[in-house]
Structure 1
Amino acid sequence: MEPDLLPLVLTAEPWGFNQQATELGPGAPGQDPCNLELERRYQAVPAAVCALCCLFGVIYSCFGYRCFKAIMFLSGLLFGSLVIFLLCYKERVLETQLSLEVSAGIALGIGALCGLVTMLVHSVGLFMTGLLLGLLLATAALVATEPLYQPQSLWVPVGSLLGLALLCALLALRWQKPLTVLSTAVFGAAVIVGCVDYFVELLALLGHVYDRLRLAPSPPLCWHSWAVLALWPALSLLGLLLQWKLTAEGYSHTDVIISRRQKRLQLLRIRQKEAKKRQSLPPQEGSYRRKPNPVKRYAGDVLAPSYIQSLRDRQLGPSTAAHTVLDLDYDCGSTVPLTAPGPGGRL
C-alpha cells in the first residue's frame, strides 16, 4: 500500500500552498518549517566573497561620503556588472548561451568602464548613487507591504522601481551631499544584511525578495528572516549618524586638488588684487604729511634770477663776481615789494 502523502492544498495566495508536502516529505505533518534547523553547508568561495562584501559594506556605510571617488567607482561597477551579467547569463547573446564564467568576465569588464565614467564625471556618479537609493527604497516598500497588498500585475513593481529610482536620482543632483550620505548609508547597510543573510539562512531572505519582485510563489518569511531584515533600517540609521556627525562633517566633494603652479598663480593674483585695493582706498589720517602753505605773492613781486644776479655783480664788482655762488634751484622769487628800501644798493 502506498504511504500517505500530504495533500496539496491551494489557498487564495499564489504562494500559500502546502510547502510541507515538498520540503518535509512524508511523515512530517503539521510541522512548521521555521522551527526546523537549517543545514548550513558553506562553501569557501561564496563565504569569502560575502566576508569581503561585508567589509566593503561597512566602509560604504560609515565612510561613504568621505571616500567619494571610490564610492562613485563602486556604484558604477556594481550597477553595470549586475545589469550586464543578467543580460548575458539569462538571455541568449548572438544566439548562444554564455557560461557563468564568460558572463562574469564580460560583466566585470563593462562594469569597470561604467565605474570609471561614474568616478570621472560627478554628475553621472551622483545620478547613479540616487538611482541605487531609489531601487533599494522601492524594494523595501514592496517587501514591507507584502502582508497588506499583493500586486497582480508585473508592471506594479517595475513602475515602483523605475519611478522611485528616477526621483531619487534627480534629487541627488539637486541636493548632492545629503542624498549621497543617505544613499551610501542605506546601500552599505543592505550589503551587510545580505552577507548576514548568507551566514544565517543561506540567502533565503534575498531569494524571497527576488521572488517578490517577479511575483513568483514564495513561502512566507520566518522570524529569523524578519530579524535579519530589521537590521537594515537600524544599520542605515547608524551609518547615517556616523557620516553626518563624524566622517562627512567639514568635507565637500567639490574641493579640487590644486597643483603647485596653480597655487603660485592664485597667490600672485591675490597679491595683485590686494595692491589694487590699497591704491584705490583713500589715505588714512596720520599716514601722510601736510603740505606747507604756499607763499603769498603780489603782482610784480617776482624777479628773474638772472636779473638779480646781474645786480649783485654790479654791486660787488668784477673781482668778486667769480667767487659768488648762487643756488639757482632755490626759489629766488622775491617776497619784498619793489618799493621797499633794500640794504644792498640803489636801482
Structure 2
Amino acid sequence: MEEALLPLAMTSDPRPFNQQLPEPPDPRCVLEPQDNPELAPALVCALCCCFGIIYCCFGYRCFKAVMFLSGLLSGALVIFLLCHKERVLETQLSLEVSAGIALGIGLLCGLVTMLVRSVGLFLTGLLLGLTLGAGALLGTEPIYQPPSAWVPAGGLVGLALLGALLTLRWPRPLTVLGTALLGAAVLVACADYFLEGLALGSRLGQRLQALPALPPLCWYSWVLLGTWPALGALGALAQWKLMDEEHGGHANGKLV
C-alpha cells in the first residue's frame, strides 16, 4: 500500500509520455480555398480552364486554332513583360500601352504560327519541353537542389530546344503529347490558384532562382502535381481516340 502511494518521479525527458500524442498539423498546410477571389483573376482563370480543356482533349483535332492560341499567348506574354518591365525609348510605358502593344504583336505571332506549319510545330515542341522541364523541376525538389540558377535555366532551354526538334521530326505523336500535357498543366495551375493561391507557381519561380532552404510543399500541392501527368495521359488517349474515329469514318466513306 505504501508503494502505491509513492510520488511519481519527475524526469527531464518528456518523450515517453508524449509518444502517443499526434503532432499538430502544419498551419501552412491547412487547406483553405479562397473565400472571395478577385473577379478579374478568377475570370482569366476560368478562361484558361476552357483553353486547357481544348488543348488537352482536342489539341490535334483543332490544330489551327491551337497553333493560333499558342502564338498569340506566347508572343503577347513575352512582349508584355518586355514592355512593362523595361524602358522603351527612354520611356516607362503604362500598363494599358504595354497591353496594347503585346496584343498587336501577339496577334501577328498567332497568325504566323497558324499559317506556317513548321513554325507552329516548333513552338509546340518548345512549350512541350518547357512544360516537362517545369514539372521535373518541381518533382525533384525533395532530392535535388540546383547549385546555381543557371542549372535550371539551362535545363529548361535544352529541353525546349530538344522538344522543338523532335516535334519537327515526329509531328503527330509529339503534337498530341505536347498539347495534352500543356492543357493539363494549365488546368492544374487554375486549380492551384483557387486552392492555394498559386503556391506551385511561386515554388517554380523559387526553384528557378535556386533559392536555398525552402519549406517543403504541402500534401495537396503534391496531389495537384501528381494529377498533371494523369490528366495529360487521359487527354492524349482522348485525342488518339478522336483521331481513330476520324480516320475510320474517312475509310468507311471511301469504301462506300
- The residue number in structure 2 matching 1:107 is 102
The corresponding residue for 1:201 is 196
Amino acid at match of 1:209: L
Deviation of 1:145 (Å)? 1.2
Report the Cα distance in structure 2 between the residues aligned to 1:240 and 1:36, rounded to whole angstroms: 31
Match of 1:141 among 136, 140, 154: 136
Q: Is the 8 A contact 1:66 1:251 kept in 2?
A: no
Q: Structure 1 or 2: larger helix share? A: 2
Partner of 2:158: 163
Q: Which residue of 2 aligns with 1:33?
A: 28
Distance 2:135 2:31 in 1: 27
Tell me, yes or no, if structure 1 residue 222 matches structure 2 residue 227: no
2:122 and 2:167 in contact (8 A); partners too? yes
**Any conservation in 2 of the 1:53–1:192 contact (CA below 8 Å)?**
yes
Aligned to 1:150: 145
* Aligned pair partner of 1:210 in 202, 205, 209: 205
- The answer for the alignment partner of 2:82 in structure 1 is 87
Q: CA deviation at 1:183?
A: 0.6
Q: Residues 211, 73 of structure 1: CA spacing in aligned structure 2 closer, same or farther, 3 A cutoff?
A: same
Query: Which ranges of structure 1 fall in alignment gaps of 5 or more residues?
Result: 1-28, 253-347
**Separation in 1 of the partners of 2:162 and 2:31?**
42
Amino acid at match of 1:111: G
User: How much does 1:52 deviate?
Assistant: 1.2
Asked if the contact 2:32–2:195 (Cα under 8 Å) also holds between the matched residues in 1, the reply is no
Secondary structure at 1:248's aligned position in 2?
Answer: helix
Normalization by structure 2: what TM-score?
0.81
The alignment-based identity, stated in percent, is 67
CA distance in 1, matches of 2:119, 2:32: 46
Q: TM-score, length-normalised on structure 1?
A: 0.61
Aligned partners of 2:67 and 2:114 also within 8 Å? yes
- Letter in structure 1 aligned against 2:201: L
Counterpart-to-counterpart distance in 2, 1:145 and 1:192:
21
Tell me, what secondary structure is at the counterpart of 1:249?
Answer: helix
Is the 2:124–2:178 Cα contact (8 Å) retained in structure 1?
yes
* More deviation, 226-235/185-194: 226-235
Shift of 1:102: 2.3
Which runs of structure 2 are paired with 1:51-90 in the superposition (5 Å)? 51-90=46-85
Letter in 2 for 1:160: G
Report the RMSD for the aligned CA atoms in angstroms: 2.0
1:208-254 CA distance string (max 9 Å, x none)? 11221122465431112111111111110100100112x222658xx
One-letter code of the match for 1:194? A
Distance change in 2, residues 1:237/1:47 (3 Å): same
Give the C-alpha shift of residue 91 in structure 1. 2.1
Q: Distance in 1 between matches of 2:168 and 2:59?
A: 17
What residue in structure 2 maps to residue 231 of structure 1?
227
Higher relative contact order (CA 8 A, sep 6+): 2
Q: Tell me the matched-pair count.
A: 223
Task: Structure 2 unaligned segments of length 5 or more: list them.
Answer: 1-23, 248-256
One-letter amino acid matched to 2:39: A
Residue 188 to residue 143, structure 1, CA distance change in 2 (3 Å): same
Give the distance between the partners of 1:110 and 1:97, measured in 2 at CA.
Answer: 19
